[in-house]
Amino acid sequence: MFKNTSTQFQFYYIYKVRKTIFIFTALVIALLALFQLSKYSIITGNSSVETIIAIIAIIFFVIGILINRRVLHKEKIKPQEIDHKKIETLGLSKREYEVLCEIASGLSNKEIAEKLFVSESTIKTHVSNVLVKLDAKRRTQAIQKAKELKIIPY
């Protein structure tokens, strides 16, 4: 299970790196442009050095804010993603993970059994295994731990 996650991560990484390269290139170009502007201004003597420095400072201040807003926006969405690797390291099987998700949505064993078309005793077995693997005493504690481990969505 969860075999196609690695390729997904690769594509995401390439996309992220490309954008970073683009932003830094734009930054360097802007810096060079400002150098030229400042040299011209000093030669002509029309504007004071203070004004130029102030403009540069403001521009880079704004650039810093804008870049950070984009980066942190991605980080904001990220923590809601589930950690497939942790599910595997915990030894949770596909069916056990399914049951865990249904527990978190507030269903009883009987309701889970009906939803997955199996007997209630089967669900009880799965629940017991989930509790052992998550080191939890109750299903409510399992929900809490699963959320801490980021293996179920909020």
Partner DNA sequence: ATGAATTTCATACTTTAGTATGAGTGTTTT
Partner DNA sequence: AAAACACTCATACTAAAGTATGAAATTCAT
Using CB under 7 A, list all residues that contact DNA.
Answer: 1, 91, 93-96, 108-110, 116, 118-119, 121-122, 124-128, 131-132, 137-140
Task: Look at the block and give the residue holding tokens 């497939």.
Answer: 84
104 in contact with a second copy (CB under 8 A): yes
What are the structure tokens assigned to 7, written together? 């390729």
The residue assigned the tokens 């390439």 is 14
Residue with Cβ nearer a second copy (72 or 81): 72
Selection from 100, 84, 97 nearest residue 141 by Cα:
100
Least distance to DNA, CB of residue 102, Å: 10
Nearest to 85 by CA among 13, 11, 151, 8: 151
Q: How many CA atoms lie within 13 A of 43 on its CB side?
A: 6
Does residue 101 touch a second copy according to CB under 8 A? no
- Is 143 one of the binding residues for a second copy (CB under 8 A)? yes
CA distance 62 to 26: 14
Among 3, 28, 50, 117, contact with a second copy (rule: CB under 8 A): 50
| Straight-line distance from the first to the last Cα atom of the chain, in angstroms, rounded to the nearest whole number | 22
| Of 37 and 114, CB closest to DNA | 114
Selected binder of a second copy within 23, 47, 52, 114 (CB under 8 A):
52
Query: For binding to a second copy (CB under 8 A), which residues are involved?
Result: 31, 34-35, 38-39, 42, 49-50, 52-54, 56-65, 67-69, 72, 76, 103-108, 136-145, 147, 154
